[in-house]
C-alpha cells in the first residue's frame, strides 16, 4: 500500500513560494525535559494541503461529511521529501483507506466490541427519535390549544356576564326592597354559581381527555432520560476501552496508551485526529517531520466553527494535550521566555505575560507551564502566589498576582465590583468605520465546544465592552478596548461577532481570522486599581509588542 507520496503528486517542480512566513506552530512541552518542541505549518505545507483540497473536490465521497484532513511533510533518510496524508475518524465508514495513514494501533482489538456498542447506540438513537416524535405529542398540543381557546372564550363570556350582574345589582338595590330585593339578588348569585359549575365541568372534561395523553408523554420523557444515561455510559465505556488500548509512539521511541498519557480522561475521538495519526506513523517508521498542515473539508461543522477549505491548528481538547509527548525526540525548540516583572512589592506582583503562555497551570501534565509555575521556580515565596485574574493563553499583557491570601481577597473584590480599569490594545483585521462606542452582548460557552464562546440571548451572561479607535493602518484598525465585565473571550467575541464590531482580531483563528499573523494581536496594555494596603491608586502599563 502506498503511504509516502511524491511532492510532484501535489505541486509542480517549478512551484515557487510567494511568502516564506510561518503562520502556525504545532508545539508542546517535552514531558521529560520541559523543552518547548515545535513543528511549523509552512507555506509549502499549506500549498500541499491546498492541492489535496483540489483532489478531494473532484470526488463526491469526500464532500458527504465534514471532517479534518491533514498532511505531514517528511524527510527520508536519504534527504528526499515525501508527503503523508490522513483523515480524522472514519472515511465513509472505513478506518483503513489506501494511500492514507492507517489508524493508531489498538482500534483493531476493539472492532467487534466497537461494532456491538455502535449498534446499541444506533438503536438508542432511533428509539429516542421515536419517543421525541410520538404522535400523541402533536395530538396533545392540538387538543390543549383547542381547550385553551374554548376556556378563554368562556372566561370572556363569564366576565361580561359578571359585569352585567354588577350593573343589575346596583339598579335593583336602588329600586327594590324587602323580599323582592332578596329574590332578585339570589337569582343573580345563582347565575354566578351556574357559571362556576360550567367552568369546573369544562376543566374536568378537558383533564379527563388530556391527562392520559400527558401521562404517556411523561413516561416517554422518563424513558428518554434513561436512554440518554445508557447512551452516555455506553460511550464512556467504549472510550475508556479505546484509551486503554490506543498506543502512541513518539520520536524518542517511547510508547504509551492514551489512558497512560491522560489518566484523567479525554474527550470522545481522542487519538482519531489527523495530527496524532501522522506523527505516530512518522515516529514508528523513523521519518523526520518537516512541517504539517490540517484543514476542514466537506460540510461545515454543525456549530459553524469549522469551514471547508480553512486551516486549523491542533484542537484544544483532543490533540494539544498529546502534542508534547508526540513531538518528544525532535530537536528542542525555543527556550522558555523569561517573565518580565512590571511592578513588585511585599503584597503583590504585576507581570507582562507573553503570548502563548497560560496564566495558571492547566489540569493535565502537558499544560503545566504557566506564569505561576515559572515564577514559583524563581521566587522564594513563589508557592504563595495566586493569580487575581487571568488572560487568555494567546493574549499578552499585564497580569496581576497576589502574594498573600488577604491581598488576593481584596483585589478579587475590586474585580467583582468592577472597580478595576482594564485597557487592551488590539489590531482588527479590517477597517472599522466608527471611532468609538459600547458593545453589550450576552455570551455563552457551549460545554461541548470549549473554550469557544457565542452570543446567546436566551442563556448568555451579560458582557459590556467600551472601545475607541487609535488609528487605521492600511487594511487594519488599531483599537483600545475597555472591558467592564470579564467574560471568557469577551473582547474577541465582541470584535468578531456580527452583532458587535463584525471584525475579527488579527491572528484570532478560533473566531475566523484567515490573515497571515504570527500571534493573536490582543494585548492587556494597562491595569488600574486601588492598592489594598497602601491605599493609593496604581496604574501599571505594559508596552504593546505589535
Quote the CA–CA distance of 320 and 365 in Å, as a whole number.
12
C-alpha cell read off for 143? 387538543
Burial profile 154-187: b = 16 or more Cβ within 10 angstroms, e = fewer: eeeebeeeeeebeeeeeebeeeeeeeeeeebbee
Quote the CA–CA distance of 480 and 436 in Å, as a whole number.
9
Question: DSSP letter string over 417-475?
Answer: TT--EEEEEEEESS-----EEEEE--EEE-TTSTT-EEE-TTTPBP-EEEEEEEEEETT
Hey, which bits of 368-420 come out as E strands?
Answer: 386-387, 396-402
C-alpha cell read off for 397? 499583557
Query: In the block, which residue shows the cell 517542480?
Result: 13
What separation in angstroms does the CA of 88 have from each of 216, 239, 273, 494?
A: 42, 16, 4, 32
Question: DSSP letter string over 258-322?
Answer: HHHH-TT---TTTT-SHHHHHHHHHHHTTPEEEEEEEEEESSPPTTS---TT-B----TTTTHHH
Please tell me whether residue 498 adopts helix, strand or coil conformation.
Answer: coil
Question: Do residues 283 and 326 touch, judged by C-beta distance below 8 A?
Answer: yes
DSSP state of 101: P
Give, for 70, the enclosing helix (H) or strand (E).
strand 67-75
CA-closest candidate to residue 264, choices 317, 313, 315: 317
156 flagged as catalytic: no
From the list 35, 392, 497, 508, the catalytic residue is 392
C-alpha cell read off for 425? 490594545
C-alpha cell read off for 72? 505531514
Quote the CA–CA distance of 441 and 456 in Å, as a whole number.
8
* Alpha carbon of residue 202 to chain centroid: 50
Q: Which residues are catalytic?
A: 392
Amino acid at each position: 500500500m502506498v503511504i509516502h507520496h511524491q511532492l510532484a503528486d501535489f505541486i509542480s517542480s517549478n512551484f515557487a513560494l510567494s511568502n516564506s512566513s510561518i503562520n502556525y506552530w504545532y508545539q508542546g512541552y517535552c514531558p521529560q525535559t520541559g523543552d518547548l518542541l515545535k513543528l511549523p505549518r509552512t507555506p509549502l505545507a499549506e500549498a500541499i494541503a491546498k492541492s489535496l483540497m483540489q483532489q478531494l473536490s473532484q470526488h463526491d465521497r469526500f464532500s458527504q461529511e465534514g471532517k479534518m484532513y491533514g498532511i505531514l511533510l517528511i524527510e527520508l533518510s536519504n534527504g528526499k521529501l515525501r508527503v503523508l496524508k490522513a483523515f480524522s475518524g472514519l472515511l465513509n465508514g472505513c478506518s483503513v483507506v489506501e494511500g492514507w495513514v492507517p489508524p493508531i494501533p489498538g482500534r483493531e482489538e476493539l472492532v467487534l466490541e466497537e461494532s456491538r456498542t455502535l449498534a446499541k447506540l444506533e438503536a438508542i438513537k432511533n428509539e429516542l427519535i421515536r419517543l421525541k416524535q410520538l404522535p400523541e405529542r402533536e395530538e396533545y398540543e392540538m387538543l390543549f390549544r383547542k381547550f385553551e381557546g374554548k376556556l378563554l372564550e368562556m372566561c370572556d363570556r363569564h366576565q361580561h356576564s359578571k359585569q352585567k350582574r354588577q350593573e343589575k345589582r346596583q339598579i335593583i338595590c336602588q329600586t327594590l326592597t324587602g323580599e323582592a330585593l332578596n329574590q332578585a339578588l339570589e337569582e343573580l348569585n345563582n347565575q354566578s354559581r351556574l357559571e362556576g359549575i360550567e367552568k369546573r365541568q369544562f376543566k374536568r372534561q378537558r383533564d379527563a381527555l388530556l391527562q392520559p395523553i400527558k401521562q404517556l408523554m411523561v413516561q416517554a420523557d422518563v424513558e428518554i432520560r434513561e436512554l440518554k444515561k445508557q447512551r452516555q455510559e455506553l460511550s464512556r465505556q467504549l472510550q475508556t476501552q479505546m484509551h486503554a488500548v490506543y498506543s502512541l509512539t513518539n520520536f524518542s521511541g517511547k510508547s504509551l496508551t492514551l489512558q497512560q498519557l491522560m489518566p484523567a480522561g479525554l474527550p470522545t475521538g481522542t487519538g482519531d485526529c489527523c495530527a496524532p495519526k501522522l506523527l505516530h506513523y512518522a515516529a514508528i517508521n523513523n521519518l523526520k517531520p518537516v512541517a504539517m498542515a490540517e484543514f476542514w473539508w466537506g460540510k461545515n461543522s454543525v456549530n459553524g466553527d469549522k469551514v471547508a477549505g480553512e486551516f486549523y491548528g491542533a484542537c484544544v481538547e483532543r490533540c494539544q494535550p498529546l502534542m508534547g509527548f508526540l513531538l518528544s525526540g525532535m530537536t528542542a525548540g525555543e527556550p522558555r521566555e523569561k517573565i518580565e516583572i512590571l511592578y513588585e512589592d511585599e503584597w503583590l506582583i504585576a507581570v507582562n505575560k507573553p503570548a502563548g503562555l497560560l496564566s495558571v497551570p492547566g489540569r493535565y501534565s502537558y499544560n503545566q507551564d504557566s506564569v505561576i509555575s515559572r515564577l514559583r521556580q524563581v521566587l522564594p515565596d513563589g508557592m504563595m502566589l495566586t493569580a487575581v485574574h487571568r488572560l487568555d493563553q494567546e493574549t499578552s499583557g499585564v497580569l496581576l498576582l497576589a502574594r498573600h491570601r488577604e491581598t488576593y481577597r481584596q483585589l478579587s473584590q475590586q474585580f467583582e465590583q468592577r472597580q478595576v480599569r482594564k485597557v487592551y490594545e488590539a489590531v482588527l483585521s479590517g477597517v472599522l468605520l466608527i471611532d468609538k462606542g459600547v458593545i453589550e452582548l450576552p455570551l455563552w460557552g457551549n460545554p461541548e465546544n470549549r473554550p469557544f464562546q457565542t452570543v446567546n440571548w436566551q442563556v448568555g451572561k451579560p458582557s459590556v465592552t467600551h472601545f475607541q479607535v487609535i488609528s487605521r493602518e492600511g487594511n487594519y484598525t488599531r483599537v483600545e478596548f475597555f472591558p467592564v465585565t470579564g467574560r471568557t473571550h469577551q473582547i474577541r467575541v465582541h470584535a468578531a461577532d456580527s452583532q458587535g464590531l463584525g471584525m475579527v482580531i488579527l491572528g484570532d483563528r478560533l473566531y475566523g481570522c484567515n490573515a497571515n499573523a504570527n500571534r493573536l494581536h490582543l494585548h492587556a496594555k494597562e491595569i488600574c486599581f486601588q492598592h489594598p494596603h497602601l491605599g493609593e491608586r496604581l496604574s501599571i502599563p505594559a508596552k504593546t509588542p505589535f
